[in-house]
Amino acid sequence: MFKKKAQGEVREIKPINPMLILACIILAAAIATYIVPAGTFERVAVEGSEYEMVVADSYQRTQNQPIGFFDLFKSLTLGLQDAAYIIFFLMILGGTFKIVEATGALHAGISNMLKLTAGKELILVPICLVMFSGISALAACCEEYLAFLPLMYMVCMACGFDSILSVAMLMCSSAIGYAGGMTNAFTVGVAQTIAGLPMFSGIGYRTIVWAVLLIPSIIYMMIYAHRITKNPEKAYNFAIDQKFRGQMDFGAIEKIEKITGRQKIILALFFGSFIFVAFSVIKWGFYIDEMAAIFLIVGILCAIVGKIKPDKTADTFLEGAKDMVWAGMIIGMCYTVTSILQNAQIMDTLVNAMGIVLKGLPQSISACGMFVLQDILNFLIPSGSGQAAVTMPFMAPLADILGLTRQTAVLAFQLGDAFTNVVTPTSGELMAALAICHIPYNKWFKFMGPLWAIWCVIACIMLIIAAAVGYC
């Protein structure tokens, strides 16, 4: 970020470190524990599941438990522990990515892709959005894209795009996919189970929602990509990108004329792993541990095919894992916010207050009110399945009272859960992605704000239609 100092002079303003933004949010959450009354819902275990379900209309006030000074600092380690499964998964993905990169296969692949798309680089935008949003809609991929981000970053910079577009094509794809959530077991699946609906029922309308959101997103990003390729200075993160673009080795990419047989096998293994992961999640219910194992196996196989010695493989893997430590800290700090609110027992108070507001809305806009409520709650509860377990037990009966179908309530939940993750600073994946690509949060919000507003309008329209036709 730069600011004019005098005629002909420019003074650089250092972007705010995302850890400082999250530190302020953690402090605000700590202060809230002294202001917001404590309370809790009764919860019952769901048979055959690891989550607990809130009992509707069971909210009761409890004694306030404000966080102490020492506990405030201790909460960071608790947040890191809660996010450990994601953090270590990302470290394994980062190590695997680094091994694949060390074989030279990625550089060779990028080189040939750039040659094929020379003069028509814009086609990468719809291809990436359709592909990645489809994977997210079917297999609930989100955190996994962080390991893929360095490659997307390199591709976008080489094509004349910018860092913001590299994040957008992955994070926005994830949001669009989660909004459709055709077979997303971790949000739609959990929410429908709690609401007493058949698993993945209503898939037809959710597919329409996915397609409707995808079209304006592709147009918006293609317009932005076209503008910055014609005039690079119009890129929102131009100054910072220029600094890091000069450090990237595009020359190494351009020197590679042909992909070797070994490199083709490595690329097939690497990209095939993403397809296999998506299939495994849908078919066998694989999750983080199983996915990490798949990528670890792929990394070892790529090292063998690429003839990388064992010592070099270990060193390369550790280097890639180290690159993800920063992202892990960001995610851990996001989980810290949730930990503070839950331990002080004010999370349920906030949820209950929002539910009371919804009951006063007329039926015509109550579905949109549910969507807004879920947007707000996602700021406090980043976990989609966790949010479903907290909100759906009273959102489902609330829909009955308001004359809405429970399928509409689930749709409002999944839209609210999906959209907020690309704008809220409590989204660990978003903040990690911005940190990896050196994007200040205000620059990202400047890009994302108009598109997010378009999404919200579409969401309200789709919810009004769902309410009108009795979506079930």
List pLDDT tens digits, range 308-334: 899 999 999 998 888 778 767 877 887
Instruction: Please report, for residues 87, 92, 95, 144, 280, the alpha-carbon distance to residue 288 in angstroms, rounded to integers and kept in the order given.
Output: 10, 11, 16, 9, 11
| In the block, residue with structure tokens 């806009």 | 365
Q: How high is the pLDDT of residue 46?
A: 58
The mean of the pLDDT values for the chain is 82
Residue 23 lies inside a defined structural domain of this protein: no
Decide if pLDDT at 2 tops 60. Answer: no
Q: Which of 207-221, 240-254, 280-294, 404-418 has the highest mean pLDDT?
A: 207-221
Q: How high is the pLDDT of residue 1?
A: 42
d(CA 373, CA 398): 13
Residue 17 lies inside a defined structural domain of this protein: no
Residue 46 lies inside a defined structural domain of this protein: no
User: Confidence band (pLDDT; 50, 70, 90) for 3?
Assistant: very low
What is the span of the domain harbouring residue 416?
68-469
User: Confidence band (pLDDT; 50, 70, 90) for 448?
Assistant: very high
CB 168 within 8 A of CB 447: yes
Domain count, the chain: 1
Long-range pairs of 1-6 with CB within 8 A, sequence gap ≥ 24: 1/239, 1/240, 1/440, 1/442, 1/443, 2/239
d(CA 138, CA 388): 18
Average pLDDT over residues 228-241: 93
d(CA 381, CA 417): 9
Q: How high is the pLDDT of residue 114?
A: 65
Q: How high is the pLDDT of residue 257?
A: 59
d(CA 186, CA 432): 21
d(CA 195, CA 201): 12
Comparing 172-176, 341-345, 376-380, 416-420, the range with the smallest average pLDDT is: 376-380
Q: Which of 94, 144, 93, 149 is nearest to 323 (CA)?
A: 94
Q: Percent of the chain at pLDDT above 90?
A: 27
User: Confidence band (pLDDT; 50, 70, 90) for 13?
Assistant: very low
Q: How high is the pLDDT of residue 47?
A: 65
Residue 32 lies inside a defined structural domain of this protein: no
pLDDT (tens digit per residue) in 43-85: 777 565 555 666 767 888 988 889 999 999 998 888 888 878 7
Write the DSSP assignment of 282-326 as a string of letters.
HHH---HHHHHHHHHHHHHHHHHHTT--HHHHHHHHHHHHHHTHH
Residues 6+ apart with CB under 8 A from 91: 321, 324, 325, 328
Average pLDDT over residues 265-271: 86
Decide if pLDDT at 336 tops 70. Answer: yes
User: Confidence band (pLDDT; 50, 70, 90) for 131?
Assistant: confident
User: Confidence band (pLDDT; 50, 70, 90) for 174?
Assistant: very high
pLDDT (tens digit per residue) in 382-427: 667 666 766 676 677 677 767 788 899 899 999 988 988 898 887 8
Decide if pLDDT at 10 tops 50. Answer: no
Q: How high is the pLDDT of residue 11?
A: 46
Residue 59 lies inside a defined structural domain of this protein: no
Decide if pLDDT at 14 tops 50. Answer: yes
Q: How high is the pLDDT of residue 132?
A: 85
How many helices (H) does the chain have, and how many strands (E)? 21, 6
Is pLDDT larger for residue 289 or for residue 234?
234
Token digits for 238?
């131009």
Q: Which helix (H) or strand (E) holds 45?
A: strand 43-45
How many residues belong to the chain? 472
Residue 14 lies inside a defined structural domain of this protein: no
Residue 37 lies inside a defined structural domain of this protein: no
Residue 9 lies inside a defined structural domain of this protein: no
| In the block, residue with structure tokens 């966790």 | 386
Q: How high is the pLDDT of residue 145?
A: 78
Q: Which of 206-215, 271-280, 291-300, 425-434 has the highest mean pLDDT?
A: 206-215
Q: How high is the pLDDT of residue 410?
A: 92
User: Confidence band (pLDDT; 50, 70, 90) for 173?
Assistant: very high
User: Confidence band (pLDDT; 50, 70, 90) for 138?
Assistant: confident
Is pLDDT larger for residue 120 or for residue 462?
462
Q: How high is the pLDDT of residue 200?
A: 79
Q: How high is the pLDDT of residue 168?
A: 96
Q: Which of 8, 147, 41 is nearest to 89 (CA)?
A: 147
Is pLDDT larger for residue 99 or for residue 11?
99
Decide if pLDDT at 159 tops 70. Answer: yes
Comparing 119-128, 167-176, 269-278, 460-469, the range with the smallest average pLDDT is: 269-278
Q: Which of 348, 349, 350, 368 is nearest to 358 (CA)?
A: 368
